[in-house]
Chain A
Amino acid sequence: MHVVILVKQVPDSSQIRVHPQTGTIMRQGVPAILNPYDLFALEKALELKDAYGSFLTVLSMGPLQAEAALRKALSYGADEAILLSDRAFAGSDTLATSYALAAALKKIDSCRKIDIVFAGKQTIDGDTGQVGPGVARRLGLQLLTYVQEIKHIDYEKKKVLVHRKSEKGIQVVSSQLPCLMTILDGHSAIRYASLPNMIRAAKAPVKIWNRMDAGIEDISKIGLKGSPTVVGKVFAPQSSRGPAEMMEGEEPEVLCSILLEKLFKKYPEVEKEVLQQVR
């Protein structure tokens, strides 16, 4: 069985700062990590490898630094890593990205038939959750989003049974292979890699593919040209909470009346309502 996991290198959003003056995101010094949601997808794939001896390919698109994220995926036990990297991809939105990834997947499939494509449910930088489904649509793959658990795979009959989370509960869904699944977080934390795997990953070559390697001829579908999304404005949201205020006094009754006075002054409508209730 051949499983491909789509991963992305993202800035660690818990460490991002907004430039106090320009309001832009300061990426300087912010560590780049493997998108945390992708780790759940990777772990799911690794479980398939444990159970069925699947071959795992990790695929990413990004600048050359993203190699580090792929190397990390290799250290957990993935077998092969491919990075799509080309100046022509710069500025791609989710539409262009899914086009490029789909092209690369086609290429990979032509060498080794793909059975399942995994993706995290979303990335923590873009937060759109569009790329996985976009790829599935372009390749005409069955799409299973928000998958919690893979219950059963019948490789002979090319069938898979999964639990996917819906708004009202859990759906038990059966699907044809090949398919694309986006994996929900929180159900299988990534394993601790063995030392031989770490060493293998540190030595292993990450394949770097440019657009031609991925079989993309039409550059109007990728990069800025292929991206209809326009970022109108970036700003840091102001905290909606005002500063805390300290009220001083000894008597609880006095403090209460001061508090009420302040509240009513700020929210006259509350005062009206309270007074009505009292009456």
Chain B
Amino acid sequence: MKEKYDCIIVGAGPGGTAAAYTLASNGLNVIQLERGEYPGSKNVQGAVLYANSLEKIIPDFRMDAPLERFLAEQRVWIIDKDAYVGTTHRTAALNWDNADRYTILRAPFDRWFSKKAQEAGVLLICETTVLDLIKEKERVVGVRTDREDGELYGEVVILADGVNSMLARKAGFRKEIVAKEVALGVKETIFIPQEILENRFGLVDNQGVAIEMLGAITRGMLGTAFLYTNKESISIGIGCLLADLKKEKIPPFELLESLKNHPAVKPLIVGGEVKEYSAHLIPEGGYHAMPQIYGEGWMIVGDAAMLVNSIHREGSNLAMESGRLAAETVIEIKKKNARFNKMNLVLYKEKLEKSFVLKDLRKYKNFHAVIGKNRHFLTTYPEIMNVSLFSLLQVDGVDKRTKERETIKNILKKRSVSGILQDAIQLWRATR
């Protein structure tokens, strides 16, 4: 007689491990299957860790999690061809113990998180790919892996197998990936000695900086770029909507190269040695792209469920939150001795609706469609801002009133008053 698990979790990323940890620490019998050699071996992220969702799972994670730096400073840059306008926010109120976000390297972080789960009692099996869900009538009762005697049975299966979620697609829970609902992100980790890095960015005591960038660097395509400081390296990357990359026929590494050579970025990474190049899909379709996330004996969490807030660059925290909520759903149903059918698992969706995850996704549900159609936000406005500031700030013998008049005239040449008003209304609506 084969052992039957309370829960089978497919994937050992943040979503799967959050679920696994929560279940195991409540005494459930959990097996988790990971395709990669170790948790984190297949993952790519900037990466910024948002503390809140992890804190709900492991309150004292700061004690031993492999965190790189806490973010004391955040910059947003609106970039033109050879200039940028930016905002900077830096505060001394944050420190290592109370910060809400940290830079991390995913490979060591995921391993740490998974180790915590294993210590809580999760049985983790790596290098094992789940090929199919085993169904009895319509009910999912287990999984079939690529190994000999590779069938496993459980009361409920949580799919946390990432953006591609082969499994959800194969089982018909999700449609094929659409190029306009995913972004392709590419990233480099550039080694820079700690002292140089800290001097360059003005950092002390594990402080870190995050720079988010948009504008000319994506060449009109829907996307953003980032630069994060780690302990002794910089993570730099750029991501654009896959449909746009396809249409423009621009290879992503070329975008990354020109980002690295942009006059605003180049001096920050000069002298560094590229340690790592990686690429990954990001599910950015938002609320509308979300598939059915629960059914007869199954739930989907994290990227596999398309839970990413691309506007705020959040994803792994949504994965952790959804993983934890899926686990809590299992625990509650188990307590009632009820069945893991669709009727009961709706609780997972209800929990997500009440959490920031779906509240945020709903808030921005039309954002991509609006910005996708109206590219002025990515092309015209960054240019206008940079050019206008340049001429306003130049002291060249022209009097200020004439300068202002000229600037306004130039702006209106690029975009009419009614156009600007329309854009403003659109942007407002897209974020309500």
Interface residues of A (CB under 8 A from B): 17, 20-21, 29, 31, 192-196, 198-199, 202-203
Contact = CB atoms under 8 A, between A and B. Distances in A.
B419 interface: no
Contact of B148 (A192, A199, A202): A192
Contacts of A195: 125, 128, 145, 147-152
Given A20-B191, A194-B147, A195-B148, A31 B128 contact: no
Contacts of B107: 29
Q: Determine chain B's interface SS by DSSP, over half rule.
A: mixed
A31 B145 CA distance: 25
B193 A29 contact: no
A198 B33 CA distance: 11
B148 A194 contact: yes
Contact of A31 (B37, B148, B151, B191): B37
Given A195-B128, A195-B145, A195-B148, A17 B123 contact: no
B105 interface: yes
A192 B129 CA distance: 12
Contacts of B332: none
A140 to B, nearest CB: 39
Contacts of B320: none
Interface in B73-114: 105, 107-108
A29 B150 contact: no
15 contacts: A20-B191, A29-B107, A31-B38, A31-B41, A192-B147, A192-B148, A193-B148, A194-B147, A194-B148, A195-B125, A195-B147, A195-B149, A198-B147, A199-B123, A199-B125
A194 B5 CA distance: 18
Nearest to B191: A20
Interface string B376-403: 0000000000000000000000000000
Nearest to A191: B148
A168 B145 CA distance: 46
A252 to B, nearest CB: 33
Nearest to B124: A202
A259 to B, nearest CB: 31
Contact of A29 (B31, B37, B105, B148): B105
Contacts of A29: 105, 107-108
Nearest to A33: B37
Interface of B: 31, 37-38, 41, 105, 107-108, 123-125, 128, 145, 147-152, 191, 193, 273, 275
Given A194-B149, A195-B152, 15 more contacts: A17-B275, A20-B191, A20-B193, A29-B108, A31-B37, A192-B147, A192-B148, A193-B147, A193-B148, A194-B150, A195-B145, A198-B125, A198-B128, A199-B31, A202-B125
Contacts, number: 40
Contacts of A192: 147-148
A199 B32 CA distance: 11
A192 B150 CA distance: 12
Contacts of B124: 202
A195 B130 CA distance: 11
B48 to A, nearest CB: 18
A65 B150 CA distance: 28
Contacts of A17: 191, 275
Contacts of B105: 29
A202 B38 contact: no
B123 A203 contact: yes
Contacts of A203: 123
Q: What are the 8 tightest A-B residue pairs by CB atom distance, in nearest-first order?
A: A194-B148, A195-B147, A195-B150, A198-B125, A194-B149, A196-B149, A195-B149, A202-B123
A193 B191 CA distance: 37
Contacts of A194: 147-150
A187 to B, nearest CB: 22
A198 B147 CA distance: 9
Contacts of B108: 29
Nearest to B105: A29
Contacts of B191: 17, 20
A203 B29 CA distance: 13
A194 B151 CA distance: 10
A81 B108 CA distance: 26
Contacts of B193: 20-21
A20 B273 CA distance: 8
B112 to A, nearest CB: 12
Contacts of A193: 147-148
Nearest to B31: A199
B226 to A, nearest CB: 20
A199 B193 CA distance: 42
A65 to B, nearest CB: 11
Nearest to B193: A21
Nearest to B108: A29
A224 B193 CA distance: 32
A17 B125 CA distance: 29
Contacts of A21: 193
A44 B202 CA distance: 57
A17 B152 CA distance: 40
Contacts of A199: 31, 123, 125
Contacts of B150: 194-195
A21 B191 CA distance: 11
A122 to B, nearest CB: 23
Contacts of B123: 199, 202-203
Contacts of A196: 149
A192 B127 CA distance: 10
B32 to A, nearest CB: 10
B108 to A, nearest CB: 6
A151 B411 CA distance: 85
Contacts of A20: 191, 193, 273
Nearest to B146: A192
Contacts of A202: 123-125
A20, A29, A195 — most chain B CB neighbours (10 Å):
A195
Contacts of B31: 199
Nearest to B189: A29
A2 B300 CA distance: 47
A77 to B, nearest CB: 11
